[in-house]
Amino acid sequence: MHRMKPMFSRLTLTAAMIALSACSSTSQPGHSTSLGEDNLKGSGFLADIYPQMKEGSDGEALRLYRNPKFASSATFVPYTKVLLDPVKLYAGSSSKLNDAPQAQSNAIAQGFYNQLHEQLSKDYQMVDKAGPGTLQISVAVVDAQEADASLKAASYIPIPLGVPGAKAAAMQAASHTTGKPPFAGQVTIEGKMADAQTGEIIAAEIDRRVGARKPIIGLFESSTYDSWSDVTEAERYWAELLRYRLCMRRGATDCQKASE
C-alpha cells in the first residue's frame, strides 16, 4: 500500500495540471509593467501616426489615436461597408514573433483575419475595393510569444503546485513586474482605421494582451495542449471588441460586449 502513494500523488498532480491548463483567458497588462504602456514601442507599422497617439484609459487600448473629426456617432452612420486588409506580420528585431516557426506566424495572422472578418461581417458588407461609405481596417501582429504548455497550469494558481516557497514568491513578484503570469503567452498588435475612399485616418491603436489567471470551468478543452491558445484567445477578444466599439460609435443600442 505504501508503494502506491507516490504513484497516486503523481497522478493527482498530473490531473490537477491538466485541469488547470484547460481554460485560456487573456488580459491587458498593467500600464506601468514591463509589458505595459510605459514600455510599448511602435514597430513602424503605423508610421507617422505614433506622435499623435496617447495613453489609453481603462477599457481602451494601451496607446491610441482618435481623429476629433469623427467624434460624433453621426460620422459613423454612413459607413456600411468594410475593406479588411490581410493581417500582416510586422516584427521588429526584438520581437519574439521572430522565434516562432513561419507556418505558425502565418497561422496567427490568418486566424486573426478570419476572426475579424467573421465579427465585422455581422454588421457590415465586406468588400475588396475602396469606395464611398467604406471603412478600411489594417492590422498587424508585431509581437507574439507562446505559453510554456508544460508549465502553463502554474499561471492559474497563486503558488504553483510543487514549487518551493521562495521560488513561488519570486514568480509572483515577476508577474507583478512584467504584467504577465509565469509561463503564459502574450501578443501585441497595431491597427488603424481609415476612410477607404479618402485615406483619412479615423483611429489607430496599439494594444497587448497576456495570458491571465481564470477560474477553471472545464476539463480537456481544445486549448489544453495548445501553447498558442493565449494568442488565439486574445485575437478572438480583439475581434469581438472591434465589433462592439464600432457598434457603439454608430450609436446603436443593441451592442454586444466582447467576452473575456
Domain total of the chain: 2
Domain that holds residue 108: 34-147+184-249
Q: How many CA atoms lie within 13 A of 250 on its CB side?
A: 17
Q: What is the per-residue pLDDT for 41?
A: 78
Q: Give the DSSP H or E segment for 118.
A: helix 102-120
| Judgement on whether residues 53 and 159 belong to the same structural domain of the protein | no
Establish if 16 belongs to a structural domain: no
Give me the tens of pLDDT residue by residue for the chain, a chain 260 residues long.
Answer: 555 455 444 544 444 444 444 455 776 766 545 545 545 778 999 999 999 999 999 889 999 999 999 999 999 999 999 999 999 999 988 888 999 999 999 999 999 999 999 999 999 999 999 999 999 999 999 999 888 655 444 444 444 445 555 444 444 444 444 444 445 689 999 999 999 999 999 999 999 998 865 444 444 344 444 678 889 999 999 999 999 999 999 999 999 999 97
Q: What is the per-residue pLDDT for 30?
A: 64
Q: Specify the CATH number for the domain of residue 137.
A: 3.40.50
| Judgement on whether residues 170 and 212 belong to the same structural domain of the protein | no
Q: What is the per-residue pLDDT for 94?
A: 84
| Judgement on whether residues 45 and 139 belong to the same structural domain of the protein | yes
Establish if 10 belongs to a structural domain: no
Helix, coil or strand: residue 48: helix
pTM of the model: 0.75
The residue with cell 479618402 is: 198
Report the distance separating Cα 185 and Cα 212, nearest Å.
9
Establish if 127 belongs to a structural domain: yes
Report the distance separating Cα 245 and Cα 148, nearest Å.
32
Report the distance separating Cα 85 and Cα 136, nearest Å.
7
Q: How far is CA 257 from CA 59, 117, 152, 232, 248, in A?
A: 12, 17, 28, 18, 10
Q: What is the per-residue pLDDT for 178?
A: 43
Report the distance separating Cα 39 and Cα 76, nearest Å.
32
Judge contact between 84 and 126, C-beta under 8 A.
yes
Q: What is the per-residue pLDDT for 101?
A: 92
| Judgement on whether residues 174 and 237 belong to the same structural domain of the protein | no
Q: How far is CA 120 from CA 3, 16, 32, 86, 125, in A?
A: 59, 38, 32, 14, 8
